Amino acid sequence: MGFKEAISRAFHKFGDVSGRARRSEYWYYTLFAWLVNMAFNTMIKLAGGYNSGGGRMMMALSGMIGFALLVPGITVAVRRLHDIGKSGWCYLLALIPVIGWIILLVWFCRDSDPGDNQYGSNPKGFKSAPTSGSIAKPVSFAASAPVTVNTAGKQFYERDNMGTRQESVSQAMSYWMVERMGKAEKPPFTLFTMPSAQAAEEALLELPFIHKAADSGKLICDRLMTFGYYETTENGIPTGEYEALVAGSDLTLDEFKLAEEAFTERGGKCKNHDAPAAGVKVQNSQGNASRTRFKEKVKGNDGISTYEVYTAPDKASAMAYLKTRPVTQRLYYIVVETPEGNFGRDINGFYQE
């Protein structure tokens, strides 16, 4: 579920505690409420502070907006508890300082109960959706070719991007607060502060899996990575400094060291990192899209999003197929289930559940 879809669903179910809410819906709404609060704090300071006339006016407006955000915030939290089989009354643990907050934080980070539970069907839609109904015809892959390893001198395009770009603070916060927190095994990463956008881009282009697209001029990644750079802010105001990130489950130790050297040589300073194990290797096995099979096409529980679901024997074949299926429509998801996990593609690019 994307950011806009999560916010739309939270307000659509204003005051409705029935049903279930997946992790992304809860954490995206939490991020949205935090961003609104930060925006009002910035406007209050720009208006002259809390004791000025403009500041008091902004505080009053902030209070009204905050109250409007409170109700959907509570209901999405209750539905999140339902999603893991807990009663909504468990939200009252928030009244217990520290211990209650820690318990709720752990629960809010848990994955959905598989299949249906007493509060409704799985909110991920395709996981527990009926296999009959609006089913698309199987797709023929007779002409599909195996994915090959990129060669030197190859020209890359936006369609070749298999990573998730980080281009703004909000995207970065979504990664740290939603996507990364939801993973049982946290992928290795390196995060640097950089003196300029040019320095960050030049450093990233030193990595063998990051290139500049000939059509869009943006950086793309030919592996399933989270990468990019963005200008940092303080109280919502741009600082002129940048952060650059590379993260991925198959980031090797040599690539990790190369990234840190490239960032450092261009004036960067390490903000945080988690080095990969020495035994991590790049998965260069060739995948064959023709080994992917159609399973079903279903609507999500919100009645808006659509999922095309396929099965494949391995990650390489899943990624090979996903590369042939660019998505241009919002709230449309192509998901390939494999023994190594589920891999998907939407309008924002590739992802792993």
Look at residue 313 in the predicted model and tell me its pLDDT: 94
292 in the same domain as 145:
yes
In a domain, 43, yes or no: yes
User: Is residue 330 domain-resident?
Assistant: yes
- Give the pLDDT score at 133: 36
Asked whether residue 15 falls in the same domain as residue 91, the answer is yes
Within a domain: residue 117? no
* Residue 340 counted as domain residue: yes
pLDDT at position 58 is 74
Return d(Cα 27, Cα 122) in angstroms, integer: 17
User: Is residue 338 a part of any domain in this protein?
Assistant: yes
Buried/exposed 9-41: b ≥16 CB within 10 Å, e otherwise: bbeebeeebebbbbbbbbbbbbbbbeeeeeebb
Report, as ranges of residue numbers, the positions in the chain whose pLDDT lies below 50. 126-151
Full residue range of the structural domain in which residue 182 is found: 158-274
What pLDDT digit, counting tens, does each position of 103-155 carry?
A: 999 999 988 877 778 887 777 654 443 333 333 333 333 333 333 334 456 78
175 in the same domain as 145: no
Domain boundary among 221, 250, 274: 274
Q: Which residues, in sequence order, are CB contacts of 296 under 8 Å at separation 6+?
A: 126, 129, 131, 135, 136, 309
- Check which CATH number belongs to the domain holding 256 and give it: 3.30.70
For the chain, report the end-to-end CA distance as a whole number of angstroms.
Answer: 11
Res 318: pLDDT: 92
Indicate whether 204 and 227 sit together in one domain. Answer: yes
Residues 270, 212 within the same domain: yes
d(CA 52, CA 84): 46
- The model's pLDDT over 272-317, given as tens digits with 9 standing for 90+, comes to 999 998 877 776 667 889 999 999 999 877 678 899 999 999 988 9
CA distance 300 to 118: 19
Residue 55 confidence (pLDDT): 67
Residue 118: inside a domain, yes or no?
no
pTM over 0.85: no
Pairing assessment for the beta strands 341-346 and 349-352 based on DSSP bridges:
antiparallel
Q: What is the count of structural domains for the chain?
A: 3
115 assigned to some structural domain: no
Q: Are 166 and 307 in contact (CB under 8 A)?
A: no
Predicted confidence at residue 124, as pLDDT, reads 66
Whether residue 35 is found in the same domain as residue 83 = yes
pLDDT score of 269: 95
55 near 44, Cβ under 8 Å?
Answer: yes
